[in-house]
Amino acid sequence: MRWVHWIVEPDRLPDAEPTTYAMQCAVCEQSSDPHVDFQEPKTWVLRHAARNPCHHTYREIIVRPWHAWMTD
């Protein structure tokens, strides 16, 4: 057994999963689909708010891949 140092950081390797963005209504909890371009979830919020005029608060959901590895 030995002690090792671990590093964790956002995964920027070429084969990393993409970072995705979604928005969720804090009133009814409906959500947009995840998308790599934030414009799509932002458009969803505008449509949802137009259909539900009393739904004013939203949550941003970001899924960002991370990578951990040992160093010597």
Average pLDDT, rounded, for the chain = 96
pLDDT, tens only, 27-59: 999 999 999 999 999 999 999 999 999 999 999
Q: Is the pLDDT of residue 3 over 80?
A: yes
Element holding 70 (H helix, E strand): strand 66-71
Which whole number is the average pLDDT over 13-28? Answer: 97
Q: Which amino acid belongs to residue 65?
A: P
Beta-carbon contacts of residue 9 (< 8 Å; ≥ 6 apart): 66, 67
Predicted model pTM: 0.82
**DSSP per-residue string spanning 26-62:** TTT--BPPPBSSTHHHHHHHHHHHHHSTT---EEEEE
What is the pLDDT at residue 58? 98
